[in-house]
Amino acid sequence: MGVIGMVQLVLPLMREAKSGVIINVSSLGARMTLPLFWHIMRPSLGLTESLQYELEGHGIRVKLVEPGGSRTNFDSSTSMVRTPHPAYKSLIDGFDKMWEKQAASLPGSEKVVQAIYRAATDGSARLRYPALAFPFLPIRNLVGARGWSAIMKMMVRRMR
């Protein structure tokens, strides 16, 4: 709700100035899914895309930065806290073990910072700025919906 509240606060000023850039940071989770990440999926894609259509006639550009995996404190924040349930214990334990190995090798947040800067300064009407530290989205696009589903199902089986 914070994103909506901030947009409501700045829009009157931007409309009056007939210019501005709104940059929302979501995640690639808006366009693809991973097991155990349903609780962090962000609805920002629909909000941002809708705002883009509504505001383009007012000189206001709207951008969406979509980070992929990168090394941050995200996994230690409340975003990664799960309500424990015995039905998911083996899957969660497997995921956590896999995540420990992968998280250390992820690059830092530099790509996200670069994508935000590019979105703020490029002057274009482009909506999406993927900040891919790990190529989830290109892989997802390459293998299609059925291929991605098969990969995710295989990954879940391996984590149990």
Specify the DSSP element, H or E, that contains 102: helix 89-103
**pTM of model > 0.75:** no
What's the chain's average pLDDT?
81
Which of 10 and 38 is assigned the larger pLDDT? 10
Q: What is the DSSP string of 55-88?
A: HGGGTEEEEEEEE-S--SSGGGSGGG-----GGG
| Average confidence (pLDDT) over 145-152 | 88
Q: Exposed, middle or buried: residue 60 (CB in 10 Å: 0-12, 13-18, 19+)?
A: buried
Cα 109 to Cα 93: distance, rounded to the nearest angstrom: 26
pLDDT exceeds 70 at position 108: yes
Number of structural domains in the chain:
1
CATH at residue 119: 3.40.50.720
Neighbours of 50 (CB within 10 A): 11
- Distances in whole angstroms, Cα of residue 143 to Cα of each of 19, 94, 140, 149: 40, 24, 6, 9
| Average confidence (pLDDT) over 57-73 | 84
Q: Residue 130: helix, strand or coil by DSSP?
A: strand
Q: What is the DSSP string of 45-59?
A: HHHHHHHHHHHGGGT
| Per-residue confidence (pLDDT) for residue 62, from 0 to 100 | 95
Cα 78 to Cα 62: distance, rounded to the nearest angstrom: 28
- On whether the CB atoms of residues 17 and 55 are closer than 8 A, the answer is no
| Per-residue confidence (pLDDT) for residue 73, from 0 to 100 | 66
**Confidence band for 125, pLDDT divided at 50, 70 and 90:** very high
Q: How many residues comprise the chain?
A: 160
Range of the domain at 62: 2-159
Cα 94 to Cα 155: distance, rounded to the nearest angstrom: 10
Tens-place pLDDT, residues 12-60: 999 999 999 999 988 766 666 666 665 555 556 688 889 999 999 999 9
Which of 91 and 19 is assigned the larger pLDDT? 19
pLDDT exceeds 60 at position 79: no
Q: Which residue has the tokens 């490029």?
A: 122
| Per-residue confidence (pLDDT) for residue 86, from 0 to 100 | 85
